[in-house]
Structure 1
Amino acid sequence: MRKLVESTFVTLDGVIGDPQVWGMPYWDAQHQEYAEHLMSTADALVLGRQTYEAFAEAWPQRSGDSYSDKINAMPKHVATRTLTDLTWNATRLADDTAQAITALKNQQGGDLLKFGTGELDQTLLGSRLLDELHLWVFPVIAGKGDRLLDSLIDTTHLHLLDTHRIDNGIVVHVLAPGTPGE
C-alpha cells in the first residue's frame, strides 16, 4: 500500500499563505535536500484545486534540474468540483475524494505526495487517509494570512514520528494522525 505524505510550509504564527513572500530567505541547499528526499520516494502528486492552479502556472516554466523535471513529469491527481479541463499531466479525482484516494493508495507504486493545505485536508484527516504530515515550521512571524488547517472542524490528534532541523532555523515535524501511544 502506498503512503500519502503531505508537505506543508507554516510560519510560527500558523500562516500558510504566500510562502514565496516569507519563505524565500530560508530556501537554501539543506531545504532543497529535504525537499528532494520527499520527492525521491513519490511517484505521483495529490493536489487540491487551488494548489494545482498555482503549480500548473509556475512549474511548467521550470526545467533543467532533477526536482523540476520530476515534478513536471509526475502524474497529478486533483481534487476539484469545478475544474474539468486539466493539463500538466493531471487527472481529476472522482467526486468521492476519499474513495478515489483510497483506490490510489491501494495501487502499486511510490508515495503519493501532497502539497498545499486546505479543504482537502478535512477529507483526508477525517477519513484517516493521510499517513504523514511533514510540517515545515519556518522561524518567521507573518502576522496575517491564511492559517494552517483553518477549515478543520474536529479536534485532530497527531503524534510525532520524527523531526528534521535545518541550520537556517526551519524545523520539519514529521507527524502522523492518531492519539499519542497509538
Structure 2
Amino acid sequence: MRKIINSTYVSLDGVIDNPQNWTSAYFQDEAASYANELLFSCGALLMGRRTFDGFSQAWPAMEEATGDFGVRMNNLPHYVVSDSLKKPGWGNTTAIPRAEAVAEITKLKEEDGQDILQYGFGPVSRTLVSNGLLDELRLWIHPVLVGPGDPVGMLNVKDFSASFELAGTEVFKTGVIIATYVPAGK
C-alpha cells in the first residue's frame, strides 16, 4: 500500500500562504537535496484546486531552470480534488470530484507503486486527516515571522483537530527544521 505524504512550508507564526514570498532565502543545497529526494521517491501528486492552479501555471515554464525536478513535477500523474476542473491542461492530470475523493484516494493508496505526495495543507489535507488517509505530515518550519495569513490556512480552521506523533526531524544549516509527524496511534 502506498503512503500519502504531505509536505508543507510553515513560518514560525503558522503561515503557509504564498511560501514563494518567504522561503527562497532558506532554500539552499540541503533543502534542495531533501526536496529532490522526496519528489523522486513518490509516483504521483495529489492536490486541491488552489494548489493545482498555481502549479499548473508555474511548473511548465520551470523545467529549464529546475532540470530533472521540473521534468518530474510536470510528468508525474496529478490527481486534483475539484468539482469545477473540466480541462486540466497540465500533463497527466485526473480530476476527482469532492464527493468521490475519499473513495478514489483510498483506491490510489491501494495501487502498487511509489508513494503519493501532496504539497500544502488545505481542504484536501483536512479530508485526508479526517478519513485516516494521511500517513505522514512533513512540516518545513522556517525561522521567519510572516504576519497575517489566509484564515483558511492550516492552523485557523474551525471544527478541525487532529493529533500527531513526532516520527523524525531534519535540521538544515539555514535553521529550517523538517518535522515529520504521523497520525497518533497509527
Instruction: Give the corresponding residue for 2:95.
Output: 92
1:112-161 CA-partner distances (Å, limit 9, x unpaired): 00012111122100001000011000000001112424336232000011
Task: Map residues 18-167 of structure 1 onto 2, 5 A cutoff.
Answer: 18-64=18-64, 65-88=67-90, 89-94=92-97, 95-146=99-150, 147-151=153-157, 153-167=159-173
1:68-113 CA-partner distances (Å, limit 9, x unpaired): 1111110100001221111212110143211110000000110000
> 1: CA distance between counterparts of 2:158 and 2:51?
18
**Structure 1 range deviating more: 108-117 or 144-153:** 144-153
Give structure 1 stretches of 5+ with no counterpart: none
**Structure 1 range deviating more: 34-43 or 144-153:** 144-153
Q: Structure 1 stretches (4+) deviating beyond 6 angstroms?
A: none
| Counterpart AA for 2:169 | T
Against the structure 1 CA distance between its residues 174 and 31, is the aligned structure 2 distance closer, same or farther, given a 3 Å change threshold? same
| Counterpart AA for 1:75 | P
> 2: CA distance between counterparts of 1:93 and 1:151?
23
TM-score (norm 1): 0.94
> 1: CA distance between counterparts of 2:168 and 2:102?
26
Matched, 1:13 2:13: yes
> 2: CA distance between counterparts of 1:127 and 1:148?
17
Q: Find the residue that maps to 2:9 and give its secondary structure.
A: strand
**In percent, how many aligned pairs have the same letter?**
34
Q: Find the residue that maps to 1:96 and give its secondary structure.
A: helix
Q: Find the residue that maps to 1:9 and give its secondary structure.
A: strand
Give structure 2 stretches of 5+ with no counterpart: none
Count of aligned pairs between the two proteins: 180
| Counterpart AA for 1:90 | T
Q: Which one of 138, 154, 168 corresponds to residue 174 of structure 2?
A: 168
> 2: CA distance between counterparts of 1:98 and 1:79?
10
TM-score (norm 2): 0.93
